[in-house]
Amino acid sequence: MTTEGNWRSPLARALHQSNRAPARHLQLATVTPEGHPANRTLLFREFREHPEGDQLCVHSDRRASKIDDLQAHPYAEVCWWLDETRDQFRIAGSVHLITAATTGDDAAYRQEQWKELDDHEKALYISPDPGAPRADEEAFDKAFSTTPPEDPPDTFVVLLLSPTRIDHLSLSGHPHRRTRYTRTDERWTEEELNP
Ligand SMILES: Cc1cc2nc3c(=O)[nH]c(=O)nc-3n(C[C@H](O)[C@H](O)[C@H](O)COP(=O)(O)O)c2cc1C
């Protein structure tokens, strides 16, 4: 038993050893309001240190379906394959959404995350509604030629995943290794499993 789950170390090490950009792409599965699975690729931004445990930070658009999913069911599972190190991490937990309505430290964190984006990334948040029927090209041209707002627009949402179960499969040696980290209340357990 440990109070600090040390799941972050193998993941941070695998990311550090991965040189290609796709290593930062993870798949995030959610459950739709109707109870169906939904999955998509997102860009991992950073680990956020939090008194209750490290979180994974990703960004998305308030108008996207995943936000409806997470408002109905605030749980998700990430599947992340790092092919250079041959590691798979499956990370399940609850998701906290930082939106334009959020106040306090989280609002400041959302502001900081917005400042990290380049103009091209910012333009996506003032582009026509994701998932709506294709808009006119002028609407996209306008979004990409406008100077992005200084402050995050209402569409910009920060998603923070607080892991409660991590399943790490390492295919880099023989036999393969599998480790499961589980959080129950405030404590973490770490178990070696057959792969
Ligand atoms: C390589 C890659 C990276 C992506 N990164 C993001 C991202 O960081 N945030 C995001 O909202 N969508 C990102 N997308 C788009 C999503 O996969 C998805 O198409 C979009 O968010 C709509 O998903 P939804 O309808 O399930 O909400 C990315 C797609 C690809 C292929």
What SS3 state is found at 65?
helix
Q: Which two tokens stand for residue 13?
A: 């090490």
Handedness of CA 87, 77, 157, 186 (dihedral sign): negative
Question: Which domain does 107 fall in, by range?
Answer: 8-115+157-193
pLDDT over 70 at 25, yes or no: yes
Q: Does a structural domain hold residue 121?
A: no
In a domain, 136, yes or no: no
Match 């390492």 to its residue by tokens.
Answer: 170
3: Cβ below 6 Å to ligand 1? no
Determine the atom of ligand 1 nearest the C-alpha atom of 30. Answer: 26
Q: For residue 79, is it within any domain? A: yes
For residue 67, being part of any structural domain is answered with: yes
pLDDT at 4 over 80: no
Q: Report whether pLDDT(5) > 80.
A: no
> For 104-119, what is the mean pLDDT?
97
CATH number at residue 169: 2.30.110.10
Q: What is the per-residue pLDDT across 129-152, written as a single tens digit (0 to 9) for each?
A: 999 999 999 999 999 999 999 999
pLDDT value for 67 = 98
**Tens of pLDDT along 155-195?**
999 999 999 999 999 999 999 999 999 999 889 999 999 99
Our count of domains for the chain comes to 1
Euclidean distance between CA atoms 195 and 47, whole angstroms: 27
Q: Is the CB of 130 under 6 A from ligand 1?
A: yes
In a domain, 150, yes or no: no
Domain for residue 49, yes or no?
Answer: yes
* Predicted TM-score (pTM) of this structure: 0.96
Domain membership of residue 140 (yes or no) is: no
Residue 65 within any structural domain of the chain = yes
| Residues 82/101, Cβ–Cβ less than 8 Å | no
